[in-house]
Structure 1
Amino acid sequence: MFKAGFIKRAASLLLAAITVLSFPVAAAASTSSASPYTGKTYTHATAFDGYNRYDGVDVSSHNGTVSWSKVKADGIDFAVIRAGFTGYTKKRHSINTDPLASSNISGASSAGLSVGVYWYSQALTQAEARAEANKVLEILNGAKLDLPVFFDYEFAGVSDGRLDSAWSEGTITKSQMTANARAFCQVIEAAGYEAGIYASKSFLTTQLDGAGLAKSYKVWLAHYTTKTDYTGGYYMWQYSSSGDVNGISGNADCNFMYLPKGSEIGKVYEVIGLNVNSRGDNGTDLTLSWNAVSGAVKYEIYTVNGSSETLKGTSTSNKFTFTDLTPATKYSFRVKAYNASRLIAKNNAYSAYTAPAGVSGLQASVSNGAAKISWNTMTCSGYSLEWATDPAFSANKDSVDLTGSASNSYTLNLDNYATYYFRIRAWQNSGTTKIYGNYSGSLSVTYAPPEPNGFSLSAYTDTSAAVDWNDIDGVQGYRVYTVSGDSQTLAGTTADSNFTLTDLAPATEYKMRVEAYAGSLSSSAEYAVCTAPREVEGFSARIAENGAAQLSWNAVSCSGYIVEWATDSDFTQNTGSAELDASATSYTMDFEGADEYFVRIRAYKDYSAGTVYGNDSAYADLSVLPFAPSGFRVYGRGDGGTDLYLSWNAAKGADVYRVYILNGEEQEYKGSTAESRFIFTDLDPAAAYSVLVIAENEYGTASAQTAVCTAPAAVTGLTAAAGGNTITANWNGTD
Structure 2
Amino acid sequence: MMKKTIGLLAALTLTLTSAGAVLPASAEEYAYDSYSAETDGTTADNGTDTEEAQAEAEQFAQENFDPQYGKYLKSLEAAEETAAAKANSYNMPVYGEKGSGDTDKYTGYTYTHQDRFNNCEKVIGIDVSYFQYQIDWKKVKADGVDFAIIRLGYRGYGSSGDLVLDYRFEENIKNAKAAGLQVGIYFYTQAITTAEAKEEADFCIKYLKNYSIDLPVYFDIESVDYDIGRLDSANLTVAQNTANCKAFCDRIIKAGYKAGVYANPYWLNYKLNAAELAKKYPIWLAHYVTYTGYEGDFSMWQYAYTGQVDGISTNVDMNVDYREKTAAPAKPDAPDDITATLNGNTAVLEWTPVAGADKYEVYRYNKDIDRYIKVNTVVSPKVTVSATGTVIPYTVRSVSISGTTKVYGEYSDLVYISNKIISGLGAASDNKSVTVSWNEISTANGYAVYRSVHGGVYTKIATVEEPSYTDTNTEMGIKYTYKVAPVFGKSDDDATEGALSTAVSAILTPKQINTVSQYSRTSSAVTIRFGHVLGASGYEFALFNPVTNAYKTVGKTIASASMYTFKSLSAGTGYQVCVRAYSEADGVTSYAPWSRALKVATNIEAPTILKTTITPSNVTVTWDAVEGAVGYKVYRRSGVSYIKLADTTSLSASFTDTSKGSRSYAVAGYFTANNRNYTSPYSELCTIDGTLPSTPSFTSGSNSGGNVTLKWSAVPNVTGYRVYMYNNTTGVYDNMKTINAKNTSCKLTGIYSTAKFRIKAFRRETGGTVWSDASAVKTVKY
TM class by shorter-chain length? Answer: 0.3 to 0.5
Larger Cα-atom Rg? 1
Q: What's the TM-score, normalizing by structure 2?
A: 0.38
Q: Which has the higher contact order (CA 8 A, sep 6+)?
A: 2
Q: TM-score, normalised by structure 1?
A: 0.40
